[in-house]
Amino acid sequence: MTKRLFVVLSLFIVAALLLTACGQKGVECDDPIGCVVIGPNEPVHIAYALVVAGPNETLGIDSRNGIEIAISDTGGEILGHPVQFDGEDTGCNAEGGQAAGTKLAADSTIVAVIGTSCSSEARVAMPLFSEAGFVVVSPSNTAPDLTEAGNPNNYPGYFRTAHNDQVQGRVAAEFAYNVLGVRRAATIHDGSLYAEKLQEVFANTFAELGGTVTTQQAVDPNQTDMSSVLTSIAAGNPEIIYFPIFMPAGGFIIRQARITPGLEEVYLMGADGLFSPDVMQGGGAEVEGFMVSSPLVQGPDYDAFVAKYQEMFGTAPISIFHAHAYDAYMLVKAAIESVAIVQSDGTLIIPRQALRDAMAATTNFDGLTGNLTCTPTGDCADPYIAVYQYHAGQYPPEVIWQP
């Protein structure tokens, strides 16, 4: 039995190998990195590469929900073609990024990828995506190197709607030093690339301005008991603690800081990772006065978005990058519409390099997260960062400062 199977299999394989040589015929396309040809009634394929399973999944699922709302808001189609939206879990680690990247890169029908969730994934998956000719828009990568000109991690085709850590960390430090008038700061990160870089930028800027950074601490994202780290911070008598991390660890710090001797009156500040209704719930009464820096997402558009989110997924937004993901999809859609060539029979031809150029040329795009303008290296976020303050039992938090 097995022997016969082998013979058949090997014959089959040899045949396949021979036939591989005769590849598919190309459609006329003068784009340097090729075109996507979408026949009449065929869908426009947009994929996600987000972390949708595992301990960090709220990050990616929230983004994916944002994209799904964007698709539904635009009628589920681009230029009369339905949108095929599917993708891969990236696990928020390098090997997951590589696996997902390889799989998606093998699918030549994909026009654009929305992802990745974590910067470590982007560093591994981007070479694959870039080689495959995709446009990639990340709703939540914030590592500066990804869009730094000349950095080997800055690949062609990469864009992001999330804020570069350089921008947000600087704003937070300036706010603390100039507006709050504090001179002693402590920082906490959670071992994620996002938090570590953000607190580093904050600390450097704060020191440049003339303040003192008493200590730079770290916690585990799954840690619940923060007493040792908070006691250690209290020993340096800071006036502000900056912890740009996520829920639930951020909520635990908010709660436990107030019951740590020496930290009863300290300012607490986070970043957009803690801009979420979960903070209001998880922080309890102690959330009063907690500040976060975040892009200005407010107004009727955002309210309508949240209402739709509630209706479609049965819950309030579970993380923070849904609006960035929404904008990411909208950017891609607008870019496709501007470069796609519609033929008389309904066939859509999307030249890949032209699509990248169109993305890079985005200026003053009116999105949920502000006016988006892309830089040549891929930073599309509106650098307009506001500071919000939470009040117990009230969401969204109050805007207390904007540039």
Q: Which of residues 56-75 bind other proteins (CB under 8 A)?
A: 57-58, 61
Exactly one of 9, 27, 304, 399 binds other proteins (CB under 8 A); which one? 9
The answer to whether 108 contacts other proteins (rule: CB under 8 A) is yes
Sign of the alpha-carbon dihedral angle for 13, 16, 21, 27: negative
Exactly one of 285, 300, 344, 363 binds other proteins (CB under 8 A); which one? 285
Total residues at interface with other proteins (CB under 8 A): 87
- Calpha distance 240→257 (Å, rounded): 11
Please, what is the minimum distance in Å from the beta carbon of residue 20 to other proteins?
5
The answer to whether 41 contacts other proteins (rule: CB under 8 A) is no
Helices 57-73 and 322-339: crossing angle in degrees, nearest 10, is 40
- Calpha distance 241→234 (Å, rounded): 10
Mark 373-402 with x for binding to other proteins (rule: CB under 8 A) and - for no binding: ------------------------------
Q: Which residues, 6+ apart, have CB-to-CB distance to 319 below 8 Å?
A: 58, 59, 61, 62, 63, 246, 247, 276
The answer to whether 340 contacts other proteins (rule: CB under 8 A) is no
116 φ/ψ angles, rounded to the nearest 5 degrees: -95, 175
The answer to whether 278 contacts other proteins (rule: CB under 8 A) is yes
The answer to whether 52 contacts other proteins (rule: CB under 8 A) is yes
- Calpha distance 389→188 (Å, rounded): 19
Helices 322-339 and 300-313: crossing angle in degrees, nearest 10, is 100
The answer to whether 39 contacts other proteins (rule: CB under 8 A) is no
Residue whose CB is less far from other proteins, 33 or 358: 33
The answer to whether 35 contacts other proteins (rule: CB under 8 A) is no
Q: Is the peptide bond before 376 cis (omega within 30 degrees of 0)?
A: no
Please, what is the minimum distance in Å from the beta carbon of residue 11 to other proteins?
11
Is the distance from CB of 182 to CB of 240 less than 8 angstroms?
Answer: yes
The answer to whether 300 contacts other proteins (rule: CB under 8 A) is no
The answer to whether 204 contacts other proteins (rule: CB under 8 A) is no
DSSP 91-154: TTSHHHHHHHHHHHHT-TTEEEEEE-SSHHHHHHHHHHHHHHT-EEEESS---GGGG-TT-TT-
Q: Which of residues 205-234 bind other proteins (CB under 8 A)?
A: 215-220, 222-225, 227-229, 231-232, 234
The answer to whether 26 contacts other proteins (rule: CB under 8 A) is no
Query: What's the distance, CA 82 to chain centroid?
Result: 25
Exactly one of 156, 248, 346, 396 binds other proteins (CB under 8 A); which one? 248
Please, what is the minimum distance in Å from the beta carbon of residue 310 to other proteins?
10
Mark 126-165 with x for binding to other proteins (rule: CB under 8 A) and - for no binding: --------------------------xx------------
7, with CB counted inside 10 A (0-12, 13-18, 19+), is exposed
- Calpha distance 240→235 (Å, rounded): 13
Residue whose CB is less far from other proteins, 190 or 327: 190
Q: Angle at CA 282, nearest 5°, toward 281 and 286? A: 90
Give the interface segment with other proteins, choosing from 119-127, 202-210, 329-337, 383-391 (CB under 8 A): 119-127
176 φ/ψ angles, rounded to the nearest 5 degrees: -65, -45
Please, what is the minimum distance in Å from the beta carbon of residue 18 to other proteins?
9
Please, what is the minimum distance in Å from the beta carbon of residue 357 to other proteins?
27
